[in-house]
Amino acid sequence: MNGLGNAFDKKTSFDASTAFNDKKDEELQEVIDHARKRIKLQQKLSNGRKGKFNTYLVDFFLIGKTNNAWMDHLLEEDVANSFRENPSASPSSSNRVLAITPTALSLKKTPPGFNFGQFLEELKYWLFLVSWLNKILVMKMVNHRKKTGEITPAFFTYVTLSQKIHFVLFNLVSIDVVFLGTRTILHTKITRSIGFYYLWTLIIYNLVILDLMEIAYLSATLVYSTYKQI
């Protein structure tokens, strides 16, 4: 059963049984710091113990990792928010330094920089949202053309092509969204620092569910019409 954890995507999880293999010196220290940061984020964001999701330190969000230092920012934001919400707990600057050190600054910070590979990974979610906006527009246009009877070859091609593009994007995002989206919605403590990421994941998650419902409805309609013909 433990072997099932190997099915987790290594981009969104951390497997301690293999991550440290053949690592030495600075490379080993980087992996250790990376693991410790993921553990600290897990402690801050996870809503209780969630089995293998926590064992493999699975990410909570679909987007937000295009900056190489994204974990540092989340850890620092949580510390800053705690000071804003309870300023009396740290009245002096010396106390603030002592409070920050064990949580965020004790770990070596990752140099900030744009992660192009992660940008390409997250781009599909933005394209899926744009495709859904286009889908809503197409549905309104189709309903209008049904009433007027004005259907041109260009319009027919546009509708058909947009449906095919949307289906391709749906297949690209659906597995990740259902897996990580469920993780985010059910397992995350909602805080100010992750509000945008949580809301974004919730929106994309619901759009995927709507697509699945549409597929189920169209399939049921096809089966019913075939049965009536028989």
Per-residue exposure over 75-103, b if at least 16 CB sit within 10 Å of its own CB, e if not: bbebbeebeeeeeeebeeeeeeeeebeeb
Query: How far is residue 179 CA from its own chain's centroid?
Result: 9
Identify which of 63, 150, 141, 71 has the alpha carbon closest to the alpha carbon of residue 103.
71
Task: Name the β-bridge partners of 46.
Answer: 188
Cα–Cα dist 129/163, whole Å: 14
| Start-to-end Cα distance in the chain | 47
Question: For the chain, which residues make up each domain, given as ranges?
Answer: 2-105, 116-229
Cα–Cα dist 54/14, whole Å: 10
* pTM over cut 0.85: no
Q: What are phi and psi of 188, to 5 degrees?
A: -105, 135
Residue 64 Ramachandran class (φ > 0 left, ψ -120 to 50 alpha, else beta):
left
Cα–Cα dist 185/60, whole Å: 9
Q: What are phi and psi of 67, to 5 degrees?
A: -90, 130
Give pLDDT tens digits along the chain (230 positions): 666 666 677 778 888 888 888 888 888 888 899 889 889 988 888 888 888 888 888 888 888 888 888 888 888 875 555 555 555 554 444 344 334 334 444 577 888 888 888 888 899 999 999 999 999 999 999 888 888 888 888 888 999 999 999 999 999 999 889 888 888 888 888 877 788 888 999 999 999 999 999 999 999 999 988 888 88
